[in-house]
Amino acid sequence: MEVAAHTILLASATKDERNALPRLEDESWIGLYHEFLSVFRLPLQFDKLVGVECNYVDSTSTDKTKVCSNRLGNQLKNCTTICNNIMRAGKHSVSFDVTNDGDRRSYGIACGIMRPTTKNITSLTSCQPVYDDLSRFSLKDYGRLHCNNNVDCCLMNTFLGRGFIRKRWKKWEYSELLAMDEEQRLQAERQNNPQNYQWEGMEWIREASFKIGLVLDLDEGTLDVYKNDRRLGTMMSGLVGEYCWAITLTCTFSDAQVSASIGR
């Protein structure tokens, strides 16, 4: 089975696809082939819905490519939909088609990338990865990291056009901060705080319906943004490590439907 999976993978994958999916040391060829299918051949799915007000558009079918927010009251609620496909290297692209129920409704929608998480993250009733400490659900080994680790979450608020990042989900312990010099301590404290920023090419989105395309190039470490097939610019650079696609919906501001597909 291992030899067969290896043979089929070599015959099916292009050079760029093999570059984008390097084999891990302890990974079987069968596991790598399944990962290849989910990343490059099967429809992109929102495998994890985190938050009580987020659902699949058609809950009676197996279609997980379309999600929606459902307001249960006037209380502010954040939910996050996550694609299981883990991007390790190379270039990856995604298209998010957003449909809203009225004007100025894109305020509560943000899209981008975040670190891969464990399945039990779906037990949360609310989730906003830019602001929440999700380190207990992360697949990263935070015990081996120091204050120069990279961005854990990077999202674009579609209404404002601004970028939002959280460099490190896990909070630094007091004993860890004491062991650092002043420069390291300042850097570590900044990592725990969500940051928003402007980037060249950013635009507000006021349409009720629109398409956002994202291209993550892990060889170059960049995240590029497209609006309705028009390139806006590079929202983030210097990215390293593994990521997956994510969408957040703030349910008091948006009754949105979002569909995902591979390719911008």
**Could you give the CA distance from residue 32 to residue 88 in angstroms, rounded to a whole number?**
12
Determine contact, residues 192/176, Cβ cutoff 8 Å: no
227-264 pLDDT per residue, tens: 999 999 999 999 998 999 999 987 554 566 788 777 65
Mean pLDDT of 133-137: 91
**Could you give the CA distance from residue 5 to residue 27 in angstroms, rounded to a whole number?**
12
List domains and CATH numbers for the chain: 1-42 (no CATH), 43-262 (2.60.120.920)
CA angle 16, 19, 25 (to 5 degrees): 155
Tell me what percent of the residues of the chain surpass a pLDDT of 90.
Answer: 36
Extract the tokens encoding 37: 């299918």
Q: Which one has a higher pLDDT value, 95 or 146?
A: 95
Query: What is the structure's pLDDT at 75?
Result: 59
Determine contact, residues 257/70, Cβ cutoff 8 Å: no
Read off the pLDDT band of 107 (50, 70, 90). low
Full-model pTM:
0.86
Q: Which one has a higher pLDDT value, 79 or 216?
A: 216
Mean of the per-residue pLDDT values for the chain?
A: 84
Query: What is the structure's pLDDT at 153?
Result: 94
Query: What is the structure's pLDDT at 194?
Result: 87
- Cite the beta strand spans of the chain per DSSP E: 48-50, 54-56, 66-69, 78-82, 91-99, 109-114, 153-157, 163-166, 195-197, 209-217, 222-227, 230-236, 244-250, 257-262
**Could you give the CA distance from residue 46 to residue 60 in angstroms, rounded to a whole number?**
15
Query: What is the structure's pLDDT at 63?
Result: 83
Query: What is the structure's pLDDT at 198?
Result: 95
